[in-house]
Structure 1
Amino acid sequence: MLSMARAQGSERNDEGENGRAALAEKRFGDIRYMSGGADREEQIALLDATRGYGLCLAYLNRFGAGLAGVETRIYRVSGRLVFHAVSSGPLLLVRLQAGSYWIIANSGGEAVAMPVTIHSRMRAARQVRWLRTTRLQV
């Protein structure tokens, strides 16, 4: 059985170069992450911010449209929960230490689980697709 851990989330907002609020970097315990991509501008900003994030996830329905509101849990292979958040868009960037993890992502009551290994100098990028989910979110 996978163990559960709790951590307080926090977020930091910075002003972008154009004076509008930039995407916020948030925290789950010591893990920093960013989520969004609801529009093209956010998608570009997130893709530009991928440096330093060991894991990049893209959430898609069976038609290839992005999904928001995806509950994501990341566990060490030992079963310890290290990350939990609900995405605010179809893209999720997570700063994870090198190691092996299990990702469990849930959308509309349908869970997808996959292993991932994070290397110290290489980013892991994954598309997570729900074949039964027909709703268009983004």
Structure 2
Amino acid sequence: MNRGSIIAAALLALAATLPATAALAQDSALQQGEFEGVPYLTGGVSLDEREQLFFTAADYNLKLVFAEKGGSYLSDTEVVVTRRDGRKVLELIAQGPFVFARLPAGDYRVAVTNAGKQQLRDAKLPAKGQREFAFYW
């Protein structure tokens, strides 16, 4: 290996150790937040935002996608996630067509509302991996 290859390999190894959220440090309209200790990320209106979201996707076990039946993405969707006992564990207004959240493994009810029309899904979330739910209006 020449010196340039060694430096490139070292830089790649260093980049792999950085937290995935470092990608969000760029100027972005992504909304990163927390509700009752549950971290979430929402956005994805632009291509740059979608790339940033998918860079961090593995950090979250719940992925929600919102679109019209014709395929156009939607934003401003109200999201409420509750445990089976009805306790609210996540509430937000999606700033784009994607929401990623990291919840403890377990059973949940996901309620999403767009333009006054609500949809419900039951979700069994894993400790590792990710469940994806797409909602169409």
Alignment partners' CA distance in 2, 1:116 and 1:22: 28
Match of 1:54 among 38, 61, 66: 61
Deviation at 1:17, TM superposition (A): 8.2
Give CA deviations for 1:53-100 in whole Å, capped at 9, x if unaligned. Answer: 110111011111110000000010111111100000000001111000
8 A contact 1:15–1:21 mirrored in 2 = no
Alignment partners' CA distance in 1, 2:114 and 2:48: 24
So what's the TM-score if we normalise by structure 2?
0.78
Point out the structure with the larger helix share.
Answer: 2
Task: Indicate the SS of the match to 2:57.
Answer: coil
So what's the TM-score if we normalise by structure 1?
0.78
Aligned residues with identical type, % of pairs: 23
Runs of 5+ in structure 2 lacking a partner? 1-20
* Equivalent position amino acid for 1:105 in 2: V
Deviation at 1:24, TM superposition (A): 4.2
- Number of aligned residues: 117
* Equivalent position amino acid for 2:120 in 1: A
Alignment partners' CA distance in 2, 1:15 and 1:53: 15
Task: Indicate the SS of the match to 2:133.
Answer: strand
Instruction: List, as ranges, runs of 4+ consecutive aligned residues in structure 1 with deviation greater than 6 Å.
Output: none
Greater C-alpha Rg: 2
